[in-house]
Amino acid sequence: MDNYQHIWLNNTTLTYIDQGHGAPVVLVHGSGPTDLRTWERQIEPFAAHFRVIAYSRRCHYPNPPAGDHADSASTRTHARDLAALITALQLGRVHLIGFSFGADIVLRLAVDRPDLARTLTITEPPLHSWLAALPGGIDLLAQRAAAILPAKRAVQQGDLEHGARLFIDGMMGNGVFDQLPPSARQRIMDNARLIGAEPTEIDAMGAEDITRSEAATIQTPTLLLTGDASPPMFLLVSRELARYLPNVEQVQIRGASHLLHVMQPQAYNAVVLEFLTRHGGQGSSHV
């Protein structure tokens, strides 16, 4: 995954990979210590059938750091970057795939620019504003904040590895960091500085979520994925979101906690490729 390209958009540089031919698929990674490399187990399998664009969102490796962390943590800022990338590459309507905060961004784009979305594949969007309104949601948000604070402090004090381990285990369960493949742990370390940002993307989550009424307007075919071992907050929000999306299919991946595409890539890829192909996305098999 070293065939990086770079593009200047919205006063920042975005790094991306563009591979394959056919209907375009754009991969949007999550928050915190991650980047386009999180899709290493998806890019080649998907590019056998589609044109695949995976990009690192602003401030994420190997892009330059933020000048304004508040703007760089904004859902709308990232949705505008995504729209600008799609437009600059002349992709037309695309299959959008996002996980975690990347799913929040994909949902925001689907509301603000429905002309750019052919399908949505979303994994466990945090949607903090939704969670806060659900029974038990405030307690879950408090638990999440309590788990993140020690990680942020560790990174700010220069202990990146300890902070990264606290962050991942706090988000996904004790021991998850050490269960990840070495390449995934390296990605986390390359972006660990973001855990200590003020504010982080997680700090800013919720302020620019789509609303329930906006969700009800999304006619784009949507695949909503969850993991059977994911933290309760993500499962709670996903169930609520499914109640409002008018054109949604739900699939739960067994043996995965939040990072479905990393922990169970074969099962994830099979489900997503079937959905994309069924919704008019079959492209050339030439890579």
CATH code for position 251: 3.40.50.1820
pTM of the full structure: 0.94
106 occurs within a structural domain: yes
Token pair of 152 as six digits: 């942020």
- Does residue 248 fall inside a structural domain? yes
For residue 158, tell me if it sits in a domain.
Answer: no
Residue 185 domain-assigned (yes or no): no
Residue 141 and residue 131: Cα distance in Å, rounded? Answer: 8
**Which range marks the domain in which residue 257 is found?**
5-133+206-281
User: Quick check: is 99 in a domain?
Assistant: yes
Radius of gyration, alpha carbons of the chain:
17
Q: How many domains does the chain have?
A: 1
Q: What is the pLDDT along the chain (287 residues), one digit of tens a residue?
A: 669 999 999 999 999 999 999 999 999 999 989 999 999 999 999 999 999 999 999 999 999 987 656 678 899 999 999 999 999 999 999 999 999 999 999 999 999 999 999 999 999 999 999 999 999 999 999 988 888 899 999 999 999 999 999 999 988 888 989 988 898 899 999 999 999 887 888 888 889 999 999 999 999 999 999 999 999 999 999 999 999 999 999 999 999 989 999 999 999 999 999 999 999 755 443 33
Task: Specify whether the CB–CB gap between 128 and 141 falls below 8 A.
Answer: yes
**179 in a domain, yes or no?**
no
Asked whether residue 214 is assigned to any structural domain, the reply reads yes
Q: Are the C-beta atoms of residues 247 and 222 closer than 8 Å to each other?
A: yes
> Residue 197 falls within a domain, yes or no?
no
**Residue 249 in tokens:** 């299919």
